[in-house]
Amino acid sequence: MVLDLSAVVVAAGRGLRFQKTSNSAQSKQLLEWGGKPLFVHTLEALSELSLSEIILVIRAEEEAQIHRHLEAYSLNQPIKISFGGERRQDSVRLGLEKISSCNRVLIHDGARPNLSASFLRRLDEASKNHDCLIPVLPVVETLKEINAAGEVVRTHDRSKFVRVQTPQFFKFSKIKDAHEKLKDSKIEFTDDAAMFEHLGFKVQTCEGSLENIKVTVFEDIKERVLNAR
């Protein structure tokens, strides 16, 4: 039986900027906040959706810790573990390969735990009409291009640019095929929609959420993350 929606949650990054700003060698996904690791907050948020399964992509050396935390919390979704690769796109591809069968898949950064139920349900419903749907926010600051010396080259029209978030929703067969075709590419794709664009597929945008920030440095979680949930 082919189920509708599965998820790949990427939590395999080293988080060097976070470690530097927090003066800790611990991965950000394992940082405890409100009594739970960051990645658990993310998984609990995704439980608002009816997912056939979640593939959690992690670093192999953190497997024992991840399993201990998964056993400690009651998560009402079936979760499989996959180990990450050299690059983010490698980690996502390895996660996609673990999915049993589905029509659609969402791909999400494990370091984005602030996912409201209304935001997720809105994305889920809108994604049913598109092969690729991504949440975006407008650029509100002035956008300048600089050269290697730090000199301004030009100022861009910010109305033509957006900031991209996850989760990104895809038709499963198409994003899996895209990853397979580009697995040996030298291009480093910073999100999965960029792979769709590269292959000439249409990427549809929709309104993102200001609360849906990504934990990159320690100040992100100390000041803002999880205040809204």
Count how many domains the chain has.
1
Per residue of the chain (229 residues), give pLDDT as tens: 557 999 999 999 765 444 444 445 567 788 887 788 999 999 999 999 999 999 999 999 999 999 999 999 878 788 999 999 999 999 999 999 999 889 999 999 998 999 999 999 999 999 999 999 999 999 999 999 999 999 999 999 999 999 999 999 999 999 999 999 999 999 999 999 999 999 999 999 999 999 998 886 555 555 555 554 4
- The CATH number given to whatever domain includes residue 90 is 3.90.550.10
- Residue 126 belongs to a domain: yes
- Residue 229 belongs to a domain: no
Q: CA-to-CA distance for 19 and 31, rounded, in angstroms?
A: 10
Cis peptide before 167 (omega within 30 of 0): yes
pTM of full prediction above 0.85: yes
| pLDDT digits 0-9 by tens, 6-43 | 999 999 976 544 444 444 556 778 888 778 899 999 99
Handedness of CA 17, 23, 27, 32 (dihedral sign): negative
- Residue 57 belongs to a domain: yes
- Find, among 209, 207, 3, 208, the residue nearest to 105 by Cα: 3
- Residue 39 belongs to a domain: yes
- Residue 164 belongs to a domain: yes
| pLDDT digits 0-9 by tens, 173-200 | 999 999 999 999 999 999 999 999 999 9
Q: CA-to-CA distance for 154 and 158, rounded, in angstroms?
A: 12
Q: Quote the domain boundaries for residue 107.
A: 3-223
